[in-house]
Amino acid sequence: MKLIFSSALLFFLSVSSSLTYAACSFDIEVGDYLRFSSTAMSVEKSCGSVTVNLKHSGQLPEKIMGHNWVLSKSADVQPVATAGMSAGLAAEYVPQADARVIAFSEVIGGGQSTSVSFSTDGLTIGDGYTFFCSFPGHSYSMRGLLTVES
């Protein structure tokens, strides 16, 4: 009986360890510095929807050291960031109704948190996507890659 139980347990553990689950939610932390806690995200197309939870663990207010999370195709990062500076804080430093912007969060300051959810329907497997902070001057160092897998 012990042999059957042990064999069944071993089989279950070997099968369950080979299973992978799609990461459809991510927690990213920022602070009073110019970097995200993570610079790479991998999502599976099957998620349907992805949520990014952004937490600012610093002390400085949003007008001085605000951060947000913006997603665009990698080729569009610089033009979107430049247009975002003109949009201003009231528009979260994101050009409004700009098709190049896939998703974005509000700008937050020290001690604040926010979330953004977006559909994977418009994302293409193999395309290059970059997430970045569009607060003026931050996009050069606060960025990471998002890959879409099948």
pLDDT tens per residue across span 39-94: 999 999 999 999 999 999 999 999 999 999 999 999 999 999 999 999 999 999 99
| Average pLDDT, integer, range 110-134 | 98
pLDDT at position 8 is: 41
Which is it for strands 143-149 and 129-132: parallel, antiparallel or unpaired?
Answer: antiparallel
pLDDT for the residue 2: 52
pLDDT of residue 42: 97
| C-alpha to C-alpha distance for 56 and 65, rounded to whole angstroms | 10
**Residue located via tokens 């089989």:** 11
Helix ranges (DSSP H) in the chain: 2-18, 62-65, 77-87
Give the E-state strand segments of the chain in sequence order: 25-30, 40-44, 49-56, 70-73, 101-104, 113-119, 129-132, 143-149
Q: Output the CATH code of domain 21-149.
A: 2.60.40.420
Domain range list for the chain: 21-149
Percent of the chain with pLDDT over 90: 85
* Mean pLDDT, rounded, for 115-140: 98
| Three-state secondary-structure class, residue 124 | coil
In this structure, what is the dihedral angle of CA atoms 62, 67, 68, 71, given to the nearest 10 degrees? 150
Share of the chain above pLDDT 70, in %: 85
CA distance 26 to 115: 10
Quick: pLDDT tens for 132-146.
Answer: 999 999 999 999 999
**Range in 13-22, 53-62, 100-109 the model is least confident about:** 13-22
d(CA 26, CA 42): 10
The mean per-residue pLDDT over the stretch 113-139 comes to 98
Query: What is the structure's pLDDT at 40?
Result: 97
pLDDT recorded at residue 14: 40
20: pLDDT strictly greater than 60: no
- Enumerate the β-bridge partners of residue 26: 52
Are 135 and 36 in contact, with CB atoms under 8 Å apart?
A: no
